[in-house]
Amino acid sequence: MSTPSDTSAPAPSDLAYIRFVSVENMMKQVHSIGIETMLGDLARYIEDDFRRWEQFDKTPRVASHSTEGVIELMPTSDGEDYGFKYVNGHPKNTKVGLQTVTAFGLLARVDTGYPELLTEMTLLTALRTAATSAMVASHLAPKGSKVMAMIGNGAQSEFQALAMRAICGIDTLRLYDIDRAATDKVVRNLGRLGFDLVPCATPEEAIEGARIITTCTADKQYATILTDNMVGAGVHINAIGGDCPGKTELHRDILTRSDVFVEYPPQTRIEGEIQQMPEDFPVTEMWQVITGAVPGRTNDRQITLFDGVGFAIEDFSALRYLRDKLRDHPFFQELDIIADPDDPRDLFGMLGRAGPR
Ligand code: NAD
């Protein structure tokens, strides 16, 4: 399916306000479209943008690190639109009732430089991360995989599960988290949605019989959620929790036995599982698998590993998708964020609109 952008020329009056999608309107949007439909649509938008990878401006995200976490800006442009996301990652936040990850994002026109959409992206990040994971798994996971181990049952996990079902046909989830309350939450949330749910007491138990293993934990350290002896032949690992320097999930020996697939190597070498490996450690760029330039999975015994850190183009695809959807699902407010003087050179004169009469 093609996912064309809206490129019609703007009238100045259209640019005085930008569309703003609040958290409440994003929730309405998800219900109006249907979450699994939305995840499938997002996966198609992301795949389309991976297919035209070479058209994009690309840069590793701009990160500001602290001992507690990271704040990042993620910009990109395809020459017609420009997008960026502001996102944080603070694993200790949940202890004080705050989320590990929150985000908002913006889409602007390149021809005028005017922004046209500002949106919450905490929900949209969970959706696009899940859609990316499942889109990648649809290329790399063993065909007919029905069972996924889900290690780390926090904020991202239900979205991951639903995307893997919508796009790859997963029907059984084997769940593990160091905090049993997180697993109970997933069981509560997904209990009536038709999954076969298996809470597990250890990560070893969780991966039994699973052909897809998702690790989505949050801890700012070199963690070993999976050790080498736990991973058998013929599985696909979707490792998405390790996404900044000093924060990984897999023992390095797993990487040497796997074929590793990444989004954008200059960013993944800083942030991904492969930060543990030498700089020339071989990886395959996912966009090249999608265009058919290089093979993905080549045999049943291969271990494929998606070292997913989240890249700006995925957010751009999500912003583009949301902008297109607002036409039929108008859950937005108009936001007065752009100054619009009657004479573009008389910005000072515009002040009079709000001054004393
Ligand atoms: P969260 O804090 O809501 O959930 C993380 C869960 O991991 C918690 O339930 C915690 O108990 C569990 N956990 C921690 N250590 C564990 C261990 N050793 N074994 C098992 N479980 C463990 O966080 P979230 O929003 O679900 O995000 C999870 C991770 O994914 C974060 O590190 C985040 O930065 C990352 N993330 C990556 C992307 C991407 O594009 N790759 C996108 C969003 C989030």
Average pLDDT over residues 109-133: 97
> Model's pTM, two decimal places?
0.95
For 58-87, b/e burial (b = at least 16 CB within 10 A) is: bebbebeeeeebbebebbbbbeebbbbbeb
**What is the structure's pLDDT at 136?**
98
- DSSP-assigned letter for residue 263: S
Contacts of 264 (CB under 8 A, 6+ apart): 58, 60, 285, 311, 313
Q: Tell me if residue 176 falls in helix, strand or coil.
A: strand
The dihedral built from the CA positions of residue 144, 148, 162 and 134, taken in this order, carries a sign that is negative
Could you give the percent of the chain with pLDDT greater than 90? 91
Largest CA distance in the chain: 78
Going from the Cα of 185 to the center of ligand 1, the distance in angstroms, rounded, reads 14
Percent pLDDT > 70 in the chain is 96
Q: What is the pLDDT of residue 2?
A: 43
Each residue's pLDDT tens digit, 263-318 = 999 999 999 999 999 999 999 999 999 999 999 999 999 999 999 999 999 999 99
> Smallest Cα–Cα separation from 187: which of 196, 179, 178?
196
Task: State the pLDDT confidence band at 1, using cuts at 50, 70 and 90.
Answer: very low
| pLDDT tens per residue, range 198-224 | 999 999 999 999 999 999 998 878 889
User: Which two structure tokens, joined as six digits, stand for 297?
Assistant: 């999975």
Q: How far apart are the first and last CA of the chain?
A: 56
**Exposed e or buried b per residue across 212-227, where buried means at least 16 C-beta atoms within 10 angstroms of its C-beta:** bbbbbbbbbebbbbbe
Read off the pLDDT of residues 3-50 as tens digits, 9 standing for 90 and up. 444 445 556 556 678 999 999 999 999 999 999 999 999 999 999 999
Please indicate whether residue 196 is annotated as part of the active site.
no
Instruction: Indicate the SS3 state at residue 262.
Output: strand
Ligand 1, atom 9: closest residue by C-alpha? 154
Burial pattern 19-32, b for ≥16 Cβ within 10 A else e, equals bbbeeebbeebbee
pLDDT of residue 153 exceeding 60:
yes
The mean predicted confidence, pLDDT, of the chain is 94
Q: How far is ligand 1, taken at its centre, from the CA of residue 68, in Å?
A: 15
Residue nearest to atom 8 of ligand 1 (CA): 154
Mutational pocket test of ligand 1: of 128, 216, 226, the residue with most ligand atoms within 8 Å of the beta carbon = 216
84-118, pLDDT tens digit by residue? 999 999 999 999 999 999 999 999 999 999 999 99
Name the active-site residue from 49, 177, 243, 307: 243
Distance 155 CA to ligand 1 centre (A): 7
pLDDT value at position 219? Answer: 85
- C-alpha 36/C-alpha 118 separation (Å) is 24
Higher pLDDT, 142 or 13: 142
CA of residue 91 to ligand 1 center, whole Å: 7
Give the separation between CA 216 and CA 238, rounded to whole angstroms.
8
Pocket test for ligand 1, best of 85, 86, 101, 264 (most atoms within 8 A of CB): 101
Q: Which domains does the chain have, with CATH numbers?
A: 18-123+313-337 (3.30.1780.10), 136-310 (3.40.50.720)
Q: Are residues 146 and 172 in contact, defined by beta-carbon separation less than 8 angstroms?
A: yes
Cβ–ligand 1 distance for 178 under 6 Å, the answer yes
pLDDT of residue 230: 93
